Amino acid sequence: MADRIYDRTPKQDGYRMPAEYERQKQIWMCWPERTDVWRDGARPAQQAYVEVAKAIRRFEPVTMLVNARQYDHARATLPPEIRVVEMSMNDAWARDTGPVFLINDAGELRACDFEFNAWGGLTDGLFFPWDLDDRLARKICELEMIDSYRTDGFVLEGGSFHVDGEGTVLTTEMCLLSKGRNPQLTKEQIECKLRVYLNAEKVIWLKDGIDPEETNGHIDDVACFVRPGEVVCLNEENPNSPFYQASQNALHQLSQEKDAKGRSLKVHRLCCPKEPIRLPQDYVIDNTETAKKRSTSDICIASYVNFLIVNGGLIVPQYDDENDALAIKQLQEVFPDRQVVGVHTREIVYGGGNIHCITQQQPEGISKENKERGKNYDE
Amino acid sequence: MADRIYDRTPKQDGYRMPAEYERQKQIWMCWPERTDVWRDGARPAQQAYVEVAKAIRRFEPVTMLVNARQYDHARATLPPEIRVVEMSMNDAWARDTGPVFLINDAGELRACDFEFNAWGGLTDGLFFPWDLDDRLARKICELEMIDSYRTDGFVLEGGSFHVDGEGTVLTTEMCLLSKGRNPQLTKEQIECKLRVYLNAEKVIWLKDGIDPEETNGHIDDVACFVRPGEVVCLNEENPNSPFYQASQNALHQLSQEKDAKGRSLKVHRLCCPKEPIRLPQDYVIDNTETAKKRSTSDICIASYVNFLIVNGGLIVPQYDDENDALAIKQLQEVFPDRQVVGVHTREIVYGGGNIHCITQQQPEGISKENKERGKNYDE
């Protein structure tokens, strides 16, 4: 019951992407299982995903999507209040493979289904093939009976941009101008796509993210909106950290930026883990030709910025690091009206992402299913 | 968010199976694809399923479940107003593999998830394995967030019984006492299961169905309730027909039966196709060891009784037979307030079933998802 829209854009139709802090209906997640991405049969990662899901479920409903062969296991492992739905996938990153939901002034929902190519396709993507993940957004929209805009020929992941819900987009050049995504498009053309698909007026381009080799610098490890006119930004003060330069550049630039409404941004600084997080010495994943290799000498991309905003709450990564409590404290000050809940996510970090990367919020709104109830049938 | 209930029964909890003529929310169907059941790559059967789905969709919503590998094809083949949802299955018989939905006096929904063994398991079942089909009801309940009663150790298919919604069950001994289902249970024990799981007071046992070799005599090719106190029954008047004896016995017995409320049943006679329907001479299906073989000398199980009642309508099999119009006319007289719509279903009959076998109605009612909206979360 969900239509696919190829020839129009959300901007034309009056739909916009709401900010994460607007009212949500539920959170979508995808169950991790591939043993060439997640160590030890994906069990430790699954346990971390379960803890994230349980933390979110304190605030709102959660649907966990799972490949058929893991359905029984996921259903038995998750608490009964988490909904489990079969869906075939290549990996488990709902932020980047799920739909980007949109809303109009009447409260009706639609979504963007951006082309997905595993963060760089055959150029520098992280696994092959990615066909099932590219279909995920469409299947979720179909399940929820929400019409979607499909952008064949325009690659974009949900983790590569943030919006304030009032016309401003935040992103990085490192990611959106990467060779593996849309090399045929100029920066101006890409900005135009963001404007029409997210229905925005202004795009703030940071230069770099902190993970050039993974997502090519997704913004969601660096900075995000916390309310209109205000952002949180990673503050790495240790000049020896590989994140130092990107963090300091972002802080500097954001403090001088104005948003679409002309407001100067208020920038809240958020600490980094004190100690760099590395893969454990006994870390092993299956050695396949189709997924990125990892080395125990790599520094993991562990940022407290990769939190998720939910109704009344905030779900924040924790690493058993000295700065865990400080991060919670800083975020509680930024979000005085939300409960801040920490979840240990090292095992998710080992796979290349974090809480924001593995979740996708669906705003409260009217789907076609809601409308369906009022439709006149032949009787 | 859906619980599994093992230690209680619907009767204990005040849930009953509503009759098919009570108000429905939607119809569930499963996309056919196996080439050892359906000829020519399942394409002709798929087309017939599409026509059935379209006919139902005139009256109410339809969800088509489909295996992952056929998702794109099914989505492209079905009209956009039919919802398509990925789900892994062994074959395509939602009546027998889907949940049997229940309702209580407050309008809340639950379901029975009876054990399924492909119509006879290793004794005389129609294919092997059947593990995915046995999980189907659970997955649908999970999707809809409806709690379900699971009956491990009690095998039952939705096509093997009908209810009047007021305490009466109609079934056949041929099927329910077959060796391939519950040989460890006596007739009295099986009747007790029907009473507690469907919440009924009286079980009317017909002796035989008309397809001993397929479903072992499902009732839904022979007779069904059309409203409380009234049934439609197959009327095969040709003594040379293999259906003659079962049909006449059923007519005779039903005309002498009383329902749970003590009403004598009013029996409406429904004609049979004039000509026996056989597999076409060029009929070929893949020859595997895991599914029942078919022969072009077999007479197909083609009954007009295998119709589906929907909100305001009736979806009735048609065979390009001389009696097609008569069947429509007879059913229109029985259901004067419903639109009677015929759909050509020979290709479904070739696979062993018909419209009722490939559909499962979900009554209007309150699921946990509805309730969820009112739940208090941590905020």
The pLDDT, as a whole number, for residue B292 is: 83
Residue A276: helix, strand or coil by DSSP?
coil
Confidence band of A351 (pLDDT split at 50, 70, 90): very high
Beta strands in chain A (DSSP E): 4-5, 15-16, 24-30, 62-66, 83-86, 100-104, 109-115, 148-155, 161-163, 168-172, 202-206, 223-227, 230-234, 266-270, 308-310, 313-318, 339-344, 360-363
Q: Which of B307, B321, B317 is nearest to B344 (CA)?
A: B317
pLDDT digits (tens, 9 = 90+) for A92-135: 999 999 999 999 999 999 999 999 999 999 999 999 999 999 99
The pLDDT, as a whole number, for residue A368 is: 75
Q: Is the pLDDT of residue B43 over 60?
A: yes
The pLDDT, as a whole number, for residue A69 is: 95
Q: Nearest CB to B59: which of A60, A86, A378?
A: A378
Query: Chain A residue closest to B24 (CA)?
Result: A373
Q: Nearest CB to B61: which of A60, A84, A372?
A: A372
- Within 8 A of A379 by CB-CB distance, chain B residues are 59, 311-313, 338-339
- Within 8 A of A139 by CB-CB distance, chain B residues are 71, 85-86
Q: Is the pLDDT of residue A360 over 70?
A: yes
CA distance A313 to A46: 22
**CA distances in angstroms from B159 to A357, B133, B217, B222, listed in the order given:** 45, 15, 9, 11
Taking an 8 Å cut-off on Cβ atoms, the answer to whether A142 and B84 are in contact is yes
Mean pLDDT in residue range A150-169: 96
Q: Nearest CB to B1: which of A83, A88, A339?
A: A83
- Within 8 A of B1 by CB-CB distance, chain A residues are 61, 80-83
Taking an 8 Å cut-off on Cβ atoms, the answer to whether A313 and B85 are in contact is no
More confidently predicted of A295 and B240: B240
Q: Does residue A377 lie within any of the structural domains?
A: no
Mean pLDDT in residue range A279-298: 87
- Within 8 A of A85 by CB-CB distance, chain B residues are 139, 142-143
Distance from CA of B182 to the nearest CA of A (A): 25
**CA distances in angstroms from B253 to A94, A122, B221, B269, listed in the order given:** 58, 70, 16, 13
Taking an 8 Å cut-off on Cβ atoms, the answer to whether A80 and B372 are in contact is no
The pLDDT, as a whole number, for residue B377 is: 77
Does the annotation mark B224 as catalytic?
Answer: no
Query: Chain A residue closest to B2 (CA)?
Result: A80
Q: Does residue B377 lie within any of the structural domains?
A: no
The pLDDT, as a whole number, for residue A178 is: 98
The pLDDT, as a whole number, for residue B372 is: 65
Distance from CA of B207 to the nearest CA of A (A): 36
Q: Is the pLDDT of residue B22 over 70?
A: yes
CA distance B146 to B367: 6
The pLDDT, as a whole number, for residue A49 is: 98
Position A327, amino acid: A
Distance from CA of B97 to the nearest CA of A (A): 16
Instruction: Give the helix/strand (H/E) hosting B45.
Output: helix B43-57
Confidence band of B298 (pLDDT split at 50, 70, 90): confident
Q: Does residue A221 lie within any of the structural domains?
A: yes
The C-alpha R_g of chain A, in whole angstroms, comes to 19
Minimum mean pLDDT range among A202-216, A277-291, B132-146: A277-291
Q: Nearest CB to A80: which of B3, B81, B139?
A: B3
Q: Which of B46, B110, B72 is nearest to B351 (CA)?
A: B46
Q: Does residue A298 lie within any of the structural domains?
A: yes
How high does pLDDT run on average in chain A?
95
pLDDT digits (tens, 9 = 90+) for B138-168: 999 999 999 999 997 899 999 999 999 999 9
Tell me what percent of the residues of chain A surpass a pLDDT of 90. Answer: 92
Best residue in A4, A71, A136, A140 for a mutation probing chain B (most B CBs within 10 Å): A71
The pLDDT, as a whole number, for residue A375 is: 65
Taking an 8 Å cut-off on Cβ atoms, the answer to whether A1 and B88 are in contact is no
Tell whether the torsion through CA atoms of B18, B21, B27 and B33 is positive or negative. positive
The C-alpha R_g of chain B, in whole angstroms, comes to 19
Tell whether the torsion through CA atoms of A262, A268, A274 and A280 is positive or negative. negative
Of A141, A271, A272, A357, which residue is the catalytic one? A357
Taking an 8 Å cut-off on Cβ atoms, the answer to whether B339 and A379 are in contact is yes
**CA distances in angstroms from B320 to B24, B344, B359, listed in the order given:** 30, 7, 22
**CA distances in angstroms from A119 to A123, A183, A211, B48, listed in the order given:** 9, 13, 12, 41
Confidence band of B289 (pLDDT split at 50, 70, 90): confident
* Structural domain harbouring A111: 4-370
CA distance B55 to B355: 11
Confidence band of A370 (pLDDT split at 50, 70, 90): low
Asked whether the beta carbons of B314 and B340 are under 8 A apart, the reply is yes
Q: Is the pLDDT of residue B378 over 80?
A: no
Q: Is the pLDDT of residue B66 over 60?
A: yes
CA torsion, points A296, A302, A308, A312, in degrees to nearest 10? 120
The pLDDT, as a whole number, for residue B373 is: 54
Give this complex's ipTM: 0.90
Taking an 8 Å cut-off on Cβ atoms, the answer to whether B377 and A58 are in contact is yes
Taking an 8 Å cut-off on Cβ atoms, the answer to whether B379 and A59 are in contact is yes
Q: Is the pLDDT of residue A68 over 90?
A: yes
What CATH number has the domain bearing residue B343?
Answer: 3.75.10.10
For chains A and B, count residue pairs whose Cβ atoms are closer than 8 Å.
86
| pTM (2 d.p.) | 0.94
- Within 8 A of B68 by CB-CB distance, chain A residues are 68, 88, 132
Q: Does residue B346 lie within any of the structural domains?
A: yes
How high does pLDDT run on average in chain B?
95
Confidence band of A376 (pLDDT split at 50, 70, 90): low
Q: Is the pLDDT of residue A373 over 90?
A: no
Q: How many domains, in total, are found in chain A? A: 1
Mean pLDDT in residue range A351-370: 92
Q: Does residue A378 lie within any of the structural domains?
A: no
Q: Does residue A379 lie within any of the structural domains?
A: no
Q: Nearest CB to B80: which of A1, A58, A377?
A: A1
Mean pLDDT in residue range A35-47: 97
Minimum mean pLDDT range among A346-350, B150-154, B195-199: B150-154
Query: Chain B residue closest to A364 (CA)?
Result: B373
Q: Is the pLDDT of residue B187 over 90?
A: yes
Tell whether the torsion through CA atoms of B178, B209, B231 and B247 is positive or negative. negative
Q: Does residue B379 lie within any of the structural domains?
A: no
The pLDDT, as a whole number, for residue B2 is: 84
Of B233, B271, B272, B357, which residue is the catalytic one? B357
Minimum mean pLDDT range among A106-120, A310-324, B249-263, B355-369: B355-369
DSSP state for residue A278 in the 8-state scheme? B
Q: Is the pLDDT of residue B374 over 70?
A: no
Chain A contacts to B (CB-CB under 8 A): 1-3, 58-61, 68, 71-72, 75, 80-88, 132, 135, 139, 142-143, 145, 311-313, 338-339, 372, 377-379
The pLDDT, as a whole number, for residue B1 is: 65
